[in-house]
Amino acid sequence: MESNIYHVYENEIQSLEEEIETLAQEYENNQLESTLYSDEKILMPVKPFQRESHEEYEEPEFSPDLKAWFNSLESDLSFLMKFTGICPANCSRKTLEKTGNKTIQNYRLSGNCHSLPFDLEFQLLEIQSEEGISAAVTDLSIITESDENCDISKIMSRAEEEGNLLLFFRAFSNFAQWCKHRKCTFLHFKAKYPDIVTLPEGPTGDYMIIKNPELSGFELMIIWKIAVNEEGTAIPVLDLLPKIPAHNIQHKAAAAAENAPGCFRIMLRLLGIEASIDSVVKSFAMETE
């Protein structure tokens, strides 16, 4: 009889342990599915407590060690964002499988890098062994708005195949930084020479047109591509193409325009990008009929 009672108790205890384990797993999943770095979502719980009188909000008390740790994290994150240009906007994590020494988690991360948006999703496989924890990235999927660039598209495809997050972020950060520099340069010359410089595709395009109002039909096009090598290093590639109207082929400006591409390449090596473009614009602007 006593043995039967113990058996009943053992069954109840086992049932309770299974229920506790199930509830713990559900709680962990709910915790991990939270979204980080989203100002709107962070402020949502605060909004109901905001009053029209704008009373001063009393921050909760934290221990000095916790404050110092949090401030250190903020400082490190700020440094990384300034150094790499990568600004995460949303990050979520969900546990897909957790059995024994194996854990599979699904991550989603979106944000901007020097104003270029990106969105990626991947799974992280972690295996616990006597030597420690080994981790591997699988099922990496990357979405950006720079797919039209052949080089960066190849890097992204390679990063997806290899599950190489470092390669993607290194290449995308370098590429986005040069895109930002090109945009700022185009805007600078458009503002400096508004009657001479035009940007047919806007400041985010890859070329600018130089026109002299006094030379009808003559144009110079400065093309600025951004190449990315296998290591993820971005390299600016610039060239100059002249447009000479057929009826003005004997014009003195035609000879100068024909020699412009070669001179422009030499200036790029000697003066750099900005000084070379400025020299071309000034020289072309001084030409007259």
Q: Is residue 264 part of a domain?
A: yes
For residue 239, tell me if it sits in a domain. Answer: yes
Q: What tens digit of pLDDT does each residue of 211-267 get?
A: 887 777 788 999 999 999 989 999 999 999 988 765 555 566 666 677 888 889 999
Distance CA 192, CA 278 (A): 10
Q: What would the 3-class secondary structure string for 93-123 be?
A: EEEEEEECCEEEEEEEEEEEECCEEEEEEEE
**Positive or negative torsion for Cα 184, 187, 191, 197:** positive
Residue 155 falls inside a structural domain: no
Amino acid at position 276, single letter: S
One-letter identity of residue 168: F
Number of domains in the chain: 1
In this structure, is residue 90 part of a structural domain? no
Highest mean pLDDT: which of 138-142, 149-153, 260-264?
138-142
Could you write out the three-class secondary structure of 172-229? HHHHHHHHHHHHHHHHHHHHHCCCCEECCCCCCCCEEEEECCCCCCCEEEEEEEEEEC
Which range marks the domain in which residue 208 is found?
Answer: 178-286
What is the pTM for the complete model shown? Answer: 0.70
Residue 188 lies in a domain: yes
215 located within any domain: yes
Identify the band that residue 73 occupies on the pLDDT scale cut at 50, 70 and 90. confident
Do the domain assignments include residue 194? yes
Q: How far apart are CA 121 and CA 110, in angstroms?
A: 9
- Terminal C-alpha separation, the chain: 116
25 in any annotated domain: no
Whether 164 shows a pLDDT value over 50: the answer reads yes
Q: Which residues pair with 95 in a beta bridge?
A: 105
